[in-house]
A and B are shown apart, each in its own frame.
Chain A
Amino acid sequence: GAVVSQHPSWVICKSGTSVKIECRSLDFQATTMFWYRQFPKQSLMLMATSNEGSKATYEQGVEKDKFLINHASLTLSTLTVTSAHPEDSSFYICSASLGGPAKNIQYFGAGTRLSVL
């Protein structure tokens, strides 16, 4: 299957600092990547759709200035949590789509555990 790498897997930061999370498709090109947030024992909440070479599409209620997304290449999307606060602590997961006929199949990274002190 397609492999998606997410880095870092765990990050602890001080309140007010910014944190960047990388999502890479290792063996395929992904024109579309997705960023999710997940709370303990809950399902995934879509934050935004990241399209290569264009602006991300954010879901309702997600602050685009707070969660900056950049999809500069066909294999890399980044999520930057700016001026992080304790309420931003969560599990963030990215996914990538193969596109074309398989556009509805998403392959997920291993997730990033963010803890803001």
Chain B
Amino acid sequence: TQLLEQSPQFLSIQEGENLTVYCNSSSVFSSLQWYRQEPGEGPVLLVTVVTGGEVKKLKRLTFQFGDARKDSSLHITAAQPGDTGLYLCAGARSSNTGKLIFGQGTTLQVKP
């Protein structure tokens, strides 16, 4: 059972376009992380959201945590080829010992 549904799984767009990646769950998370991974490398932490309704911005990336802390979104404005990579959302349950539940990942390709 996939506890964190991430969509879309694959996305190919032209440079300059906007896009949104979604992570949805029926479970409540105490926090949710977004990571970006390039081929042959480990995931790199982009942001952590903790409070329901929280919005965080990282340059052209906007992250939002749902009011009920069951879902999150990543919006990229004016995508660039350097944004190409695998984006992963990962949620932490309040009862665990640090284990993260990962979404399926979104492979993003931005064409110049």
Contact = CB atoms under 8 A, between A and B. Distances in A.
Interface stretch (B14-22, B35-43, B54-62, B73-81): B35-43
B68 interface: no
A49 to B, nearest CB: 6
A109 to B, nearest CB: 5
A105 interface: yes
A34 B43 CA distance: 13
Interface in B4-55: 6, 30-31, 33, 35, 40-45, 48
A104 B97 CA distance: 8
B44 A108 contact: yes
A104 B92 contact: yes
A105 B99 CA distance: 9
Interface residues of B, number: 25
Contacts of A113: 40
B30 A110 contact: no
Contacts of A1: 45
B17 to A, nearest CB: 21
Given A104-B31, A104-B98, A41 B45 contact: no
B110 interface: no
B8 to A, nearest CB: 13
Interface string B82-106: 0000101010100001111011110
A107 interface: yes
Nearest to B91: A104
Most-contacted residue by chain A among B98, B100, B103, B105 (CB, 10 A): B98
A11 B102 CA distance: 26
12 contacts: A32-B98, A43-B102, A44-B43, A46-B100, A93-B42, A99-B98, A104-B30, A104-B33, A105-B31, A108-B35, A108-B43, A109-B42
The 6 lowest CB-CB distance pairs between A and B, nearest first, are A104-B92, A108-B42, A43-B105, A103-B98, A97-B98, A110-B42
